[in-house]
Amino acid sequence: MKYTIMVNEGPYQHQSSDTALQFARAALEKGHEIFRVFFYHDGVNNGTRLAVPPKDDRMLQKEWSELAEKHGLDLVICIAAAQRRGLMDASEAKRQGLNADNIAAGFRISGLGQLIEGGIESDRTIVFGD
C-alpha cells in the first residue's frame, strides 16, 4: 500500500512525531511504500538540524534524516509554516537576506500542493497530530 504521512506537531513537545516515525518504520519493514511525509504546523520543527537533545534521549530529527537516507523518503516541510517558525534551507535564507540556515539532511522545503498531491497519489493519507 502507498502512504502519505502528515506530521502536525513538533518533536518532544508532543508524541505524534514519535508515532509517525514508528509508523513509517513499521510500514517500510512490511514492504509498504511511503510516497511522502509532509510536515505542517509545529511539525516543521522536526526538520531542524540544530536540535541537541540530552544524550539519553531519542534524537528525532536525526532519526528522520537517517530513515530518509536509508529508504529514499521524501520529507517535505511546508514553506508557509516554516517561514513563520524560522526553518530555512540555504536558498530560502539567501532569498530572505538571512545569515543562517537550519534544515536537516533529507528534508526539503516546498508548498502545500505537495500535501494535496500526496492525498491524490496515495492509497491512504494518515495525519499524526493533536
Partner 1 sequence: MAKKFMYLNRKAPYGTVYALESLEVVLIAAAFEQEVSLAFLDDGVYQIAKGQNPKAVGMKNFSPTYNALGDYGITKLYVERESLAERGLSEEDLMPIVYEDEDDDYAEKPSVQVISRAEMAQIMAEQDVTFSF
Spatial CA neighbour of 88 closest among 44, 52, 37: 44
Compute the least distance from the CB of residue 8 to partner 1, in Å.
8
Name which position in 21, 68, 81, 109 contacts partner 1 (CB under 8 A).
81
- The residue length of the chain stands at 130
Find the part of the chain contacting partner 1 (CB under 8 A) among 21-29, 52-60, 62-70, 105-113. 105-113
DSSP 73-124: --EEEEHHHHHHHT---HHHHHHTT-S---BPTTEEEE-THHHHHHHHH-SE
Q: Among 3, 35, 39, 40, which residue interacts with partner 1 (rule: CB under 8 A)?
A: 40
Which of the 8 DSSP states describes residue 48? B
Active site residue 120: no
Return residues touching partner 1 (CB under 8 A).
6, 8, 40-41, 80-81, 84, 111-113, 115-117, 119-120, 125, 127, 129-130
